[in-house]
Chain A
């Protein structure tokens, strides 16, 4: 698989990372090296894979108490910005 700069840019956007310029160029090569490295896995003889997570019965956690609710003050104390009992962020542009 050949990694292009466009693909890396798309990945940067998906991961919402502040990556530009030199670092981005460097990542093209690193991603390429990584993908070449993991390509070796394709040569492994395949087994009939069972799911790695054992499935569970849904009644498993019936004794679970749960976490207690936080108070509005606690929620807002964690939040970087708040207003009227709610967490505030810059405007979401829904349409346009």
Chain B
């Protein structure tokens, strides 16, 4: 069924509130969210890491969003700048 395929894909998008981020993670498999920041950017999120932390995702989801998913995609180790709760 088409509804199961989004769990096999990775979606690059922008969310503008922690509520949107939580909905996104709840509806997708954990591994599909990845996070990136375009520089220079017109998207105004001053502290992206703090933004993700404020969504209070569980630690597995948070680590995935902050870099582990991107690391798996690109076959690199994705260092996290600070520990995730």
Same complex: no
Chain A residues with a Cβ under 8 A of chain B = none
